């Protein structure tokens, strides 16, 4: 959602606040296009300015300064704040509709329990942003940089993270919906230290994504697309917490074709009708998983199969049980 298709009148309802000076430069003689506005501290001057200058066209406030602005429990609609400095804002319980925040810096801001609809956050910086239990509908975060963002228990409909970078992001118990089969779009994104525990995200797209230390334990990933995904840290004897984790996940009809899943954990996962064709599953753990095939061309050497047996090196497309080494004295062929 890079552009707004039709002009939408600006409406803003704010609570009580006291004033701070605003300085703006008018662009092209337009009463709805301004640059360099500064609204720092509280909401009164922001409230006054946008109501004075809003019209039939979208109000543009390019490169505005909104640092530390308190807009909690408010409603903001139809304004473009491209390139804004919006750090440490308080937007808890705020409703944001038809807002352009492309390339804005929202570091340290609080959007917990906020409602975002038709919001453009493409290429934005979201560092240490709280979005706990927020509701996001048609939100574009493509090419955004999210670090230490809390989206636990958030409700996300048609949200795009395409080619975004996510580090230390929490999606625990988040719910993804996809009215246009585009919700949960992480195509080509880079994700490191991201937690999707218990997330509900059918039809999610991770095709071509790069993932490191990502957990999908207990997640609903029915019909998800991981084709061509690269999972980082493919090293033997790597600590389990750094390996891709899908334990107890629902992965029915998921597509992992050509994905690098070295050392991935699929214990007790439902892999019915999942596609692992030509995937790298070396050293993966599928103990207790439900599967009915779909491993054509997959590399299974060193993997632990659904029955707990070890797959021999060179197993392709099917698990060939490893022959125990007679020199092994541990009693556990997985350690030999």
- The DSSP 8-state label assigned to residue 183 in this structure reads T
Residue 104: band (very low, low, confident or very high) from pLDDT cuts 50, 70, 90: very high
CB 129 within 8 A of CB 149: yes
Which tokens is 228 given? 């061509």
Residue 24: band (very low, low, confident or very high) from pLDDT cuts 50, 70, 90: confident
**Is 50 exceeded by the pLDDT of residue 16?**
no
* Euclidean distance between CA atoms 332 and 15, whole angstroms: 67
More confidently predicted of 332 and 95: 95
Structure pTM?
0.82
**Is 70 exceeded by the pLDDT of residue 67?**
yes
CB 210 within 8 A of CB 232: yes
Which tokens is 266 given? 């699929």
Query: What is the mean predicted confidence (pLDDT) over 152-168?
Result: 94
More confidently predicted of 124 and 12: 124
Kindly report each contact of residues 179-183 with a partner whose C-beta sits within 8 Å and lies 24 or more positions away, as own/partner: 182/158, 183/156, 183/157, 183/158, 183/159
Please report where in the chains the tokens 């440490």 appear, as a residue. Answer: 88
pLDDT per position as a tens digit, 161-170 = 999 999 999 9
pLDDT per position as a tens digit, 309-322 = 999 999 999 999 98
Residue 237: band (very low, low, confident or very high) from pLDDT cuts 50, 70, 90: low
Q: What is the pLDDT at residue 45?
A: 81
Q: What DSSP assignment string belongs to 82-126?
A: TT-B-TT-B-TT-EEEEEE-TT-B-TT-B-TT-EEEEEE-TT-EE
Instruction: Provide the b/e sequence for 228-255 (b: ≥16 CB within 10 Å).
Output: bbbbbebeeeeeeebbbbbbbbbbbbbb
CA angle 253, 190, 278 (to 5 degrees): 40
pLDDT per position as a tens digit, 25-52 = 888 888 889 999 998 767 778 878 888 8
What pairs with residue 321 in β-bridges? Answer: 311
Q: What is the pLDDT at residue 335?
A: 52
% residues pLDDT > 70 (the chain):
84
Mean of per-residue pLDDT scores for the chain: 86
Nearest 5°: phi and psi at 58?
-60, 140
């Amino acid at each position: 959602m890079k552009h707004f298709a039709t002009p939408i009148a600006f409406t803003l309802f704010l609570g009580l606040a006291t004033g701070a000076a605003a300085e703006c430069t008018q662009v092209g003689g337009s009463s709805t296009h301004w640059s360099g506005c500064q609204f720092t501290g509280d909401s009164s001057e922001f409230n006054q300015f946008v109501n004075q200058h809003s019209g039939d066209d979208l109000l543009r406030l390019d490169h505005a300064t909104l640092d530390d602005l308190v807009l909690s429990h408010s409603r903001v609609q139809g304004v473009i704040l491209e390139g804004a400095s919006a750090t440490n804002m308080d937007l808890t319980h705020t409703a944001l509709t038809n807002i352009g925040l492309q390339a804005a810096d929202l570091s340290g801001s609080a959007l917990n329990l906020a409602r975002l609809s038709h919001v453009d956050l493409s290429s934005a910086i979201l560092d240490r942003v709280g979005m706990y239990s927020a509701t996001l509908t048609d939100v574009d975060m493509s090419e955004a940089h999210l670090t230490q963002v809390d989206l636990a228990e958030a409700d996300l409909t048609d949200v795009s993270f395409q080619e975004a970078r996510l580090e230390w992001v929490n999606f625990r118990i988040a719910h993804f919906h996809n009215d246009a089969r585009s919700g949960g779009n992480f195509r080509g994104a880079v994700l490191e230290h991201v937690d999707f525990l218990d997330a509900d995200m059918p039809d999610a797209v991770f095709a071509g994504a790069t993932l490191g230390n990502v957990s999908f334990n207990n997640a609903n990933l029915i019909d998800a697309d991981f084709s061509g995904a690269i999972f980082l840290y493919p090293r033997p004897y790597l600590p389990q917490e750094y390996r891709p984790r899908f334990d107890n996940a629902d992965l029915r009809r998921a597509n992992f074709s050509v994905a690098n899943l070295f050392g991935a954990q699929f214990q007790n996962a439902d892999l019915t009708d999942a596609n692992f064709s030509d995937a790298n599953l070396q050293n993966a753990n599928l103990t207790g998983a439900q599967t009915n095939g779909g491993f054509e061309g997959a590399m299974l050497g060193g993997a632990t199969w659904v029955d707990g047996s070890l797959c021999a090196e060179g197993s392709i497309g099917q698990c060939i049980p490893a022959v125990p080494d007679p020199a092994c004295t541990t009693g556990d062929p997985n350690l030999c």
